[in-house]
Structure formats: structure tokens, C-alpha cells
Amino acid sequence: MGVEEQQSEEIDPLSDPEERCVLYGALDSFRQYRHAAHYNVTHLRRRAFYSLPSAHMELLSEPPFALPATFDAVDEAIDSNADLADAILASGLPSFGIDANDTSWYGHATPNDMEKARSTLRQFFRDWSAEGLRERNSSFLPIISALEHHLPNLPPERRYQCRILVPGAGLGRLVFDLCAIGYVVEGNEISYHQLLASNYILNCTNAAGQHKLFPWAISFSNHLSRADQLQSIAVPDVHPGNELEADQHCVNSGVHYSDRMSMTAGDFCELYRRPNYMNTFDVVVTCFFVDTAPNVINYIETIRHCLKSNGLWINIGPLLWHFESAPTPAEKKSQAHCSHDISTSCHSSSAGIGEPGSFELTNDELISLLERLDFEILEQKQAPSGMTGYVQNPASMLQNVYNPSFWVARKGRQR
């Protein structure tokens, strides 16, 4: 369908050694997913199983336990997941101009990269499955309602007059959903794992349900039944191109969807505080994003910079400050492979997420900070659609759920 992807112009990941290392780590982690999952999930479990006393082993080999059969089923699930990882990789290599015979990127994945590959695959549950609809609704519906409420005189066919930026676009579903109802939407994402996955799902799939993903298969805790662990989902729930084509007719937009949707790659602050983005967007939508900031003032100032006067900022998400759990200096030393493990940011930059200094605010402090930095709070509430998970197995005996902060703020004119 052709989602235009813009690489922030200074960064050519293959020419900058630092950046190349980050990209190679992401690519390699998708390549290694299959082997690593078979090793860590089933091989080690079989070994632990066959170390049991023989009477225990025999008991657990028979129904209703049949653990060896479970290991086989999990291996099949891993292979199905790995087919998606391979497809992401196969679409990613040519998009970065890497030849199929080039293996110089092999072996670059750090343990952190491997974990990101696993969590990126799992995230298709939230973003691109029918089963993830409830989670998406909890976050997306309040955003869409706010757009309609605060931009009341914009019928669907003229929504192309409203240009929206979505920082932290992830796998691209919010960008896609907003485009589908008529807006002009630009997503921004820094993580190569997410960029590779969103590029694949948006541009390279042939049909809805093309992939069978087992989002919970590699975890063995808190399952009521083995069927819960081995639940599969069809990915994507809709074929993005076909869906946008159909929506184009419903919306009857004056602008074709292919001109209403784009993605940029790179550090949000570094990119959107540039002069060419000044007063550009009517709305910035942040969904589970603001807590990725080491210095949230930079995020706020960047949003203010790229918003038009009177532009809206719609936010929903918790405050799980990502840099709080950053490794201590001593831990960093022992873990460092690429230097991106040191900064814990994905991309080096002199003006973005890699800037020195960090702090974590409480929710009420963050609201006050918005007001200090020239935003007028139009709406503020907790959990507009109730408590919500983020890639949460609804059948699990452990539910991690958020009471997210929601606000609509308007950029003032004074600064």
C-alpha cells in the first residue's frame, strides 16, 4: 500500500558505525529468534524434565499432563512466531539496502535486542489482532472521541485538513486507525525493532490472517490451562491496504489515504524540534509514550514547537518512566557491547533522547508542568475507559493493568 517512510536525513544507519550497530542488532535479533526460542524455551525445559526422577517423568509424560507433547506444541508455536520474525527480517534487509548474501550483521544482537524481538512479536496481539481490540479501544476510543469533540466542525471528508503527529508510533496501528477515519497522520518511531515490524505489517502483507501468532506460548507461568498458553491469533486482523481502500470510500476523503499516512524514523526530539517542523501539526497524540522521556521537558517543548498555535495535545498512558530501571553505572560497564547498551537509548544523538539529565514526575506534577510550559488543560481524567493492560493476556492468572492518565491540552500563544 506504500506508507511513505522518511529517514531523518542526517542519519544513514549504514554509514554511521554507532547507528549501524543498533540496526544490525535489531535485524540479527529477528534472525536469531527461532533458534534462541527453541533453545531457551523448549530445549532447556526438556533437559530439566529428563533430569527428573523417572517415576515423576513417567507420570508427567502421560495425559492429562503429557509435558513432552506440550514441549512439541510449543516448538510448533515458536516456529509459527519465527515465520513472522523471518518475514519482518526479509522485508527489512532490502529496505536498508542489505544484500541477501551479506552476513556482516550476523551476531550483533545483544540480550536486550533478543528481548525486544520477543516483545515486538508479542505486541502484534495488541496492535494487529482481533483479540487485541479491547486493549486498543481502551486507549484509542478516548483519543478519537477527543478529536471529534474538540474539532467539531470537521466532517470525515474534510478531516484531511487536520494533520496529526503520533510520536512513539510502535507497530503503527493508531496511525493506521486515524488515517482510516480521514485524518492526515504522521507516525514517528525510534526503535528499529518496531520500525521493521510496522513496515512489514503495513506494506508487505498479502492478506488478513496471513500469520498465526502464539503470543503467550513461550511463558509457562499463571496459565489456567495449556490451551490458554497455546492460544493462537490471526495477524493482521485486517489487511491494511484493503482496509484503507474500503475506508477511503466510506470517508469520501478529498485526499487519498496514501497521501494521508507516513512514518518517520529517528529520535522524536531531535527531529521535530527542527525549524522545518515549527507550527506544523494540528494535533499531537501520545499514547503510552511520555514516560519514555529521560527529560519530559524536552518532549513538551518539542510538541509545543511542532504544534500550530491553538493546536491540541491528546495523551493517554501511565508513568512507567522507562529510564528509572536503566542500569546503574556499574551494571552498564559489565553489560556494554555496543555503546547503545550504555545509553539505553537506541540511537545516538546530540540533541535528543541521549541528552544528559533525567527526572521522573508524578501525574499531578506533569499536569502542572504542562501549564507552566504554555499548555491549557481542556480535559484531564484517569482511565477514561477503565483500567487497561498493555499486551496483557486476558486469561492469565496475573493481570498487569494501568490506571492511565488522559488529557487534552491546547497550545497557548504566549511563548
| Interacting residues with a copy of itself (CB under 8 A) | 40, 44-45, 48-53, 56, 59-60, 64-65, 67, 219-226, 228-229, 291, 294-295, 297, 318-321, 324, 328-329, 334, 356-365, 368-369, 372, 382, 387, 396-405
With respect to a copy of itself, which residue has the nearer C-beta, 221 or 276? 221
With respect to a copy of itself, which residue has the nearer C-beta, 100 or 227? 227
CB-CB contact of 269 with 284 (8 Å): no
Angstrom distance (rounded) from CA 337 to CA 348: 15
Least distance in angstroms from the C-beta of 73 to a copy of itself: 13
Least distance in angstroms from the C-beta of 134 to a copy of itself: 17
With respect to a copy of itself, which residue has the nearer C-beta, 98 or 361? 361
Cell of 295: 527529560
Least distance in angstroms from the C-beta of 215 to a copy of itself: 16
Cis peptide before 167 (omega within 30 of 0): no
The Cα diameter of the chain in Å comes to 77
Element of type H or E holding 282? strand 281-287
With respect to a copy of itself, which residue has the nearer C-beta, 37 or 180? 37
Least distance in angstroms from the C-beta of 243 to a copy of itself: 33
Angstrom distance (rounded) from CA 404 to CA 388: 8
CB-CB contact of 53 with 135 (8 Å): no
Least distance in angstroms from the C-beta of 95 to a copy of itself: 32
User: Burial, 163: exposed, middle or buried (Cβ in 10 Å; 0-12, 13-18, 19+)?
Assistant: middle
Least distance in angstroms from the C-beta of 211 to a copy of itself: 25
With respect to a copy of itself, which residue has the nearer C-beta, 255 or 297? 297
With respect to a copy of itself, which residue has the nearer C-beta, 206 or 221? 221
Dihedral sign from CA coordinates of 94, 100, 106, 112: positive
Least distance in angstroms from the C-beta of 90 to a copy of itself: 28
With respect to a copy of itself, which residue has the nearer C-beta, 68 or 209? 68
3-state SS assignment for residue 198: helix
With respect to a copy of itself, which residue has the nearer C-beta, 158 or 337? 337
Instruction: Give 51-98 as a DSSP string.
Output: TS-HHHHHHHHSTTT-HHHHHHHHHHHHHHHHHHHHHHHHHHHHHTT-
Least distance in angstroms from the C-beta of 197 to a copy of itself: 25
CA proximity to 290, closest of 379, 167, 195, 171: 167
User: Burial, 153: exposed, middle or buried (Cβ in 10 Å; 0-12, 13-18, 19+)?
Assistant: exposed
